[in-house]
Structure 1
């Protein structure tokens, strides 16, 4: 359990950036925490790493650095903050106790998300088929969300006032969130044969289902924002009514009315 708390401390340290700006607990701090957890796994378990766990830890670093870097760039170089004004709480509207609660719960979620790799290392499971399949799924998700972000940035440079419906956005309206879910699905799958007890299963499930919930919550916020910005555009209405919001070929076109998706 000492190694688990060491990983939690790393997650708390990285995500503490949210005390500077509230929303960073679940954005830049999220990416930084996952990257630092990956680095922590490499150091803490350096004597028992296998090819699979080595690459899984490196994937965490790549994932976290890409996410934190992209979000930092968006904060500095784009009008994202102006578009989000009023949609998320400001720093002054959240008291310190609430911030501490969000900080701790978010940091714990990040640890639980990465727990399948942690449990593989703790339980001395080597590189097997589940591990390799999980790595392939995660890598696919990372490539998908990276490509989606690049395509969106390119499209917005051409026409910043128009919604994006090109490239991967023809498949689903939130391909970056889809890539995120695929990434963590791979992490969860990689540990399906390593959990020794109910507690380990519960930790892994909470981490996996937690990030799926957060992604659908993010999709709901995006839909509300896009409806506000493009709701009178017939092309947007046609696009929204014909393109699934998150999962390809599943006719789920809206989550706007699902108020329980608060993330």
Structure 2
């Protein structure tokens, strides 16, 4: 029942995608995660079944979702160049028929519920606080900080160098540190539940949500790489940067995923 409720919450929030198709996976994503965090605190708070770790993680989900949703909403309306890029990179919805929009809506809501499900399962299973939960919450928090700082760094850089590629701060570590922060966030959420998942269904939901978001983040990195190759491919400085800075995972010599057409993002 708990999973069904958070699925309904995600459905309600990401329905904004019917206004603008991309919002299913952008603004609807961030605010859905925040709303699920609120729903978890309310549901289990009323039952008197809240524990420290899931309370922290649900609160982090709220912070994460509000920060991401708000950031994307502001950027969408304030940055004409960003809006144009997204319109070119992702189907804007004008040619998407209603049945496909409904499928996208349902799939997105299911994904968002699965991503947050480890927090739900810890609460639902009335699991005690443990070291694995603390480690998971810490990784989640670190991921949120990295993603937020990376977005802030790139924003500041683009204000000063609107036609340059960002290679400062966390962008010295990997070319997509914001996506790395996203991966770390959901790695922490998944890891937090490995000692408390009960039954095949909970494992399937948690693993499915985690693998899907990692796949999508690599797809996002591919989309960014293709766009940057088009914009900066003739710049020797960019060529050197791209050949010596991993695309997403630090210290792993994976410098490009442009040819991996099976990735989406």
Interval of TM-score (by shorter of Structure 1 and Structure 2):
over 0.9
Instruction: Show the 5 A alignment for 1:63-142.
Output: 63-78=64-79, 79-142=81-144
Per-residue Cα deviation, 1:234-253 (whole angstroms, up to 9, x for no partner): 11111001100000010000
1:51 aligned to 2:52?
yes
1:24 is matched with 23
How many residue pairs were aligned? Answer: 262
Structure-1 separation of matches of 2:182 and 2:141: 10
Q: Describe the SS at the equivalent of 1:91.
A: coil
Deviation at 1:86, TM superposition (A): 2.1
Per-residue Cα deviation, 1:73-119 (whole angstroms, up to 9, x for no partner): 11011120122332211221111100000010010000000111111
Per-residue Cα deviation, 1:28-67 (whole angstroms, up to 9, x for no partner): 0000100000000001111100111111110110000000
Per-residue Cα deviation, 1:185-215 (whole angstroms, up to 9, x for no partner): 0000100001111111111000100100010
1:151 is matched with 153
Over aligned residues, Cα RMSD in angstroms? 0.8
Which of 175, 184, 189 aligns to 1:187? It is: 189
Aligned partners of 2:37 and 2:59 also within 8 Å = yes
Q: Describe the SS at the equivalent of 1:45.
A: helix
Structure-1 separation of matches of 2:87 and 2:229: 16
Aligned partners of 2:2 and 2:120 also within 8 Å = no
1:243 is matched with 245
1:10 is matched with 9
Q: Describe the SS at the equivalent of 1:86.
A: helix
Per-residue Cα deviation, 1:127-168 (whole angstroms, up to 9, x for no partner): 211111111000000000000001001110111000000100
Deviation at 1:172, TM superposition (A): 0.2
Structure-2 separation of matches of 1:117 and 1:3: 11
| TM-score, reference length from structure 2 | 0.97
Q: Describe the SS at the equivalent of 1:155.
A: helix
Structure-1 separation of matches of 2:243 and 2:95: 36
Q: Describe the SS at the equivalent of 2:88.
A: coil
Structure-2 separation of matches of 1:203 and 1:175: 26
Q: Describe the SS at the equivalent of 1:92.
A: coil
2:213 is matched with 211
Structure-1 separation of matches of 2:90 and 2:6: 29
Structure-1 separation of matches of 2:87 and 2:69: 20
Question: Moved runs in structure 1, 4+ residues, more than 4 A?
Answer: none
Structure-2 separation of matches of 1:214 and 1:87: 14
Extract unaligned runs of 5+ from structure 2. none
Structure-1 separation of matches of 2:233 and 2:191: 39
